[in-house]
């Protein structure tokens, strides 16, 4: 079976969508599946607009047909509204439809016009969590029987063994954008009397962090794993997520986790993290202090929880979905 995989998001993100693509590009040939990368390069705003408005709806379907693939997989809700081959779409979250005010104008307009059409045109839809499955049903009216839940996987190299960054700090990981709730987290870290380090690329929106926060910027996986191992905990009090891959990356490194109660973050944490009200800096600060006090217990619980998100499990589930889509 030949699977056409849209790898264009690799030009724009290193987050959850990129993780999905990287896992699938490494599929063993012995699995009976050949992954055929399909791509529109470019990182500029103009390239992104052309990709969304022209390449996805008009060019990608033709490329899939010419490549003679059996199924086309778009690992985000950016995709064609019609496809000559069976289409599988992965939806990470519907934050842009739930909270459009947190996104730039182009993303808001594209999503309002196209997301429901792309999802409706898919033979099967992959949600990264039960929470996102529920969002698809509620927000887009997607039939529940059309949705398969496949979580994100922990990438190779995230384990308790290896280098550890130095210092006494709490770590935050994610693109600098409003829903990551970094301003409240910075206040909470100051209340708890601990340094906050933030790993991630600059995104969009008004995220003005105080001078005492250390902005590390984007880093490679090796350095990120070292930062997880050296941290007193990962703090991930996001306002809205479809999954939250830093949660399981941190757990796989043996790092205690503090994250938001409710939604996908609580689902992914699976009882192995401290849960807090993300709207209350004092509650977040109390959660940090609880994580410090319960570090050995949270470490063991997190390591066990991370075993539910192995690459082998995730890839096997996706291959089953491809086969189902072409039946």
The tens place of each residue's pLDDT in the chain, 327 residues long, gives 999 999 988 877 666 678 788 888 877 666 788 999 999 887 777 888 888 889 999 999 999 999 999 999 999 989 999 899 999 999 999 999 998 987 888 888 889 999 999 999 999 999 999 999 999 999 999 999 999 999 999 988 999 999 999 999 999 999 888 889 999 999 999 999 999 999 998 877 778 888 889 999 999 999 999 999 999 999 999 999 999 999 999 999 999 999 999 999 999 999 999 999 999 999 999 999 999 999 999 999 999 999 999 989 999 999 999 999 998
The pLDDT, as a whole number, for residue 327 is 86
Task: Sheet with 71-74: list strands edge to edge.
Answer: 34-38, 2-6, 71-74, 87-91, 124-127, 147-149
CATH class of 169-308: alpha beta
CATH class of 2-153+310-326: alpha beta
Question: What is the pTM assigned to this prediction?
Answer: 0.91
Identical topology for domains 2-153+310-326 and 169-308: yes
Whether the CB-CB separation of 216 and 199 falls below 8 Å is answered with: yes
Q: Across the chain, what does the average pLDDT equal?
A: 93
* Residue 18: its H or E element: helix 16-25
Please state, in angstroms and as integers, the Cα–Cα distance from residue 221 to each residue in 22, 156, 232, following that order.
13, 9, 19
User: What are the domain boundaries of the chain?
Assistant: 2-153+310-326, 169-308
């Amino acid at each position: 079976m030949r699977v056409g995989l849209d790898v264009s998001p690799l030009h724009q993100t290193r987050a959850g969508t990129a993780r999905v693509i990287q896992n699938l590009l490494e599929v063993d040939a012995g699995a009976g599946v050949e992954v055929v990368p399909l791509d529109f390069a470019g990182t500029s705003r103009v390239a992104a607009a052309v990709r969304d408005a022209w390449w996805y709806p008009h060019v990608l379907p033709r490329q899939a047909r010419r490549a003679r693939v059996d199924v086309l997989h778009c690992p985000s809700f950016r995709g064609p509204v019609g496809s000559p081959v069976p289409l599988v779409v992965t939806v990470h979250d519907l934050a842009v439809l739930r909270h459009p005010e947190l996104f730039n104008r182009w993303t808001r307009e594209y999503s309002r016009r196209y997301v429901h059409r792309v999802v409706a045109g898919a033979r099967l839809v992959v949600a990264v969590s039960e929470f996102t499955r529920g969002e698809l049903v509620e927000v887009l009216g997607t039939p529940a029987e059309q949705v398969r839940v496949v979580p994100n996987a922990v990438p190779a190299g995230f384990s308790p063994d290896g280098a550890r960054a130095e210092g006494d700090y709490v770590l935050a990981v994610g693109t600098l954008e409003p829903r990551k709730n970094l301003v409240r987290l910075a206040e909470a870290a100051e209340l708890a009397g601990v340094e906050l380090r933030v790993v991630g690329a600059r995104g969009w929106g008004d995220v003005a962090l105080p001078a005492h926060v250390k902005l590390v910027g984007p880093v490679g996986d090796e350095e990120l794993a070292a930062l997880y191992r050296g941290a007193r905990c990962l703090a991930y009090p996001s306002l809205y997520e479809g999954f939250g891959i830093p949660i399981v990356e941190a757990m796989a490194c043996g790092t205690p986790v503090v994250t938001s109660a409710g939604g996908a973050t609580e689902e992914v944490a699976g009882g192995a993290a401290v849960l807090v009200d993300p709207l209350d800096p004092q509650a977040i600060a109390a959660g940090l202090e609880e994580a410090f006090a319960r570090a050995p217990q949270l470490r063991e619980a997190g390591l066990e929880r991370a075993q539910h998100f192995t690459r082998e499990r995730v890839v096997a589930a996706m291959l089953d979905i491809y086969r189902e889509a072409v039946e």
